[in-house]
Amino acid sequence: MIILGVILLIVGFVFAIPILWTIGIVVLVVGLILMLLGASGRAVGGRRHYY
């Protein structure tokens, strides 16, 4: 999710498409939150890792 968020941010910035920029930010933040919860040893949705 983090990589997808970064790709969407870059594409949205290069082609000046604001909706891709917004979706990229949301996907990036959700990916970072899931990564931090998984790294802290807390299982989220029955899974310990998201990758």
Inter-residue contact 34 to 1 (CB < 8 Å): yes
pLDDT at 34: 83
pLDDT at 30: 92
Distance CA 51, CA 39 (A): 11
Tokens of 15: 């082609």
Does the pLDDT at position 3 exceed 60?
A: yes
pLDDT at 41: 73
pLDDT at 47: 65
Domain edges within the chain: 2-37
Confirm whether pTM is higher than 0.85.
no
pLDDT per position as a tens digit, 9-50? 899 989 988 999 999 999 999 999 888 877 777 776 666 665
